[in-house]
Structure 1
Amino acid sequence: MGNYTIDEFIQQTKQDEQENDYFELETPRILEVNLLEMVWAKAGSMISYTGQIKFERERLLEHGVGVMFKKAMTGEGASLMKATGRGRLYLADQGKKITIFELNGESITVNGNDLLAFEPGIEWEIKMMRKVAGMMAGGLFNVTLKGKGRVAITSHYEPLTLLVKPGEPVITDPGATVAWSGDLTPEFRTDISIRTFLGRGSGESIQMEFSGEGFVIVQPFEEKYAAPNVSV
């Protein structure tokens, strides 16, 4: 960044005062939510807001007994907060790049750690990757979202979309896998040669294999997973 006077810096970096969409990228790494009623967001992602907005952590029974049972039995779950009211809400997650999707009846599955926010009209379901739970610390979980509305996801640096075609499966590292089309179901496999080379406890030996037709979004970064806490 070059040298600025204070006024020049303010003009260059100030918020957009115009009326914007419900979800708007204020910068590539800051999401502006023009809140009228309610939005679901990743817990801890609020960096600023204006107006009258109330924040609540997701409660265990918020989405019914089925979701509660999954969380209680697995110790996994997307840690969400509910923001209600009217105003401008600014969200970010560790400086990660933000991508906004507008779903029109489609579905997308997102790594639980990479889901930033979604409109309340979106249907969602936590899905466990049980086969991998014992292989990586804390295991992995993902969230399938479908319906009509906006979803914001995050990635470390620029994401890459890989097309999955019949007969041409795509193999990815779980820590670098951000999201995939909702009709794909990944299979997990262990590469014995890599496992032997890197050591018995290495997560590098686990791979995700996507077969069929759709897409997979990956990032040039491997996230490390630890056992998450369940919101109550």
Structure 2
Amino acid sequence: MNGPVIHDAWTLPVDDNINPYAFSVDLNGQWFLQKGKMVAYYGQIDFHGVGLGHLDHLIAYSFHSPLHAADWVVAEGQGKMVLADRAFDVNSYDLDDGNLSIRSGNLLAFQPSLSLKQSIVPGFLTLIGTGKFVAASNGPVVFMEPPIRVDPQALVGWADCPTPCHHYDHQYLRGFLGAIRSRTGIGGASGEEHQFEFVGAGTVLLQSTEQVVAEISVGETGGTGS
């Protein structure tokens, strides 16, 4: 009878998935890491808050999102880090002189060769440059080509294409209820009534559910309790 696979520092994969829900980072230097996403590590690794003195040069080059500075740390040293996020699917992606915007709750970690900026779309961050990043999704990611309209809750991000615009279904805007919604923004939350519209060249990343990977405070489990 076959038992579970037991890993150690030498058998963990190098910058690859351990299983669909956990990723092993081979650290030899520095990575940016969202707080609460490291579940274990081997080796000599220190974790520094964004803004620590000796990391000023690194922060100035790679981190340009003051709204999210408190949510991130720099992992520095040598070893293996295991990343995971509430049993969501976890994958790595490579940017080659690229530009990718991603929902802030989905981004787990990225190499300092990439530059992180705040997207003009609320709730999203933008990675620019060349390097690897790790992200979570609620179910497998589907890659789509514009022009396309997508449910905002299923949207993980978009790469190398223009920022989306809002599209509202005609029925959503008709009648008295539609007028109230158009003025107040109340109601009409389904993807059938409201979508993000992408045009031009590039790639759109969708998760296979309409449940957003929500941001949670560090130390919370995300459970409902008993």
Contact 2:161-2:203 within 8 A present in 1 as well: no
Is it true that 1:193 corresponds to 2:181 in the alignment?
no
Q: Which consecutive segments of 4 or more residues in structure 1 shift more than 4 A?
A: 59-66, 194-197, 224-229
Question: How far off its partner does 1:24 sit?
Answer: 1.6
Q: Which residue of 1 aligns with 2:17?
A: 25
Contact 2:144-2:205 within 8 A present in 1 as well: yes
Query: Which aligned pairs between 1:197-212 and structure 2 lie closer than 5 A?
Result: 200-204=186-190, 205-212=193-200
**Separation in 2 of the partners of 1:177 and 1:152?**
16
**TM-score (normalizing by structure 2):** 0.75
- 98, 117, 131: which one aligns with 1:149: 131
CA deviation digits over 1:154-200, x for unaligned, max 9? Answer: 11111111111xxxx21111111012113321101333635859x83
Contact 1:77-1:141 within 8 A present in 2 as well: no
**Separation in 1 of the partners of 2:215 and 2:105?**
12
Contact 1:24-1:32 within 8 A present in 2 as well: yes
- Count of residues in correspondence between the two structures: 200
Question: How far off its partner does 1:20 sit?
Answer: 4.8
Q: Which residue of 1 aligns with 2:151?
A: 173
Q: Which residue of 1 aligns with 2:7?
A: 14
**TM-score (normalizing by structure 1):** 0.73
Question: How far off its partner does 1:128 sit?
Answer: 3.1
Are residues 175 and 59 of structure 1, via their aligned partners in 2, closer, same or farther at CA, if it must alter by over 3 Å? farther
Q: Which residue of 2 aligns with 1:107?
A: 99
Give identity over the alignment, percent.
24
- 134, 144, 158: which one aligns with 2:140: 158
Question: Helix, strand or coil: the match of 1:193?
Answer: helix
Deviates more, 1:39-48 or 1:180-189: 180-189
**Separation in 2 of the partners of 1:223 and 1:78?**
25
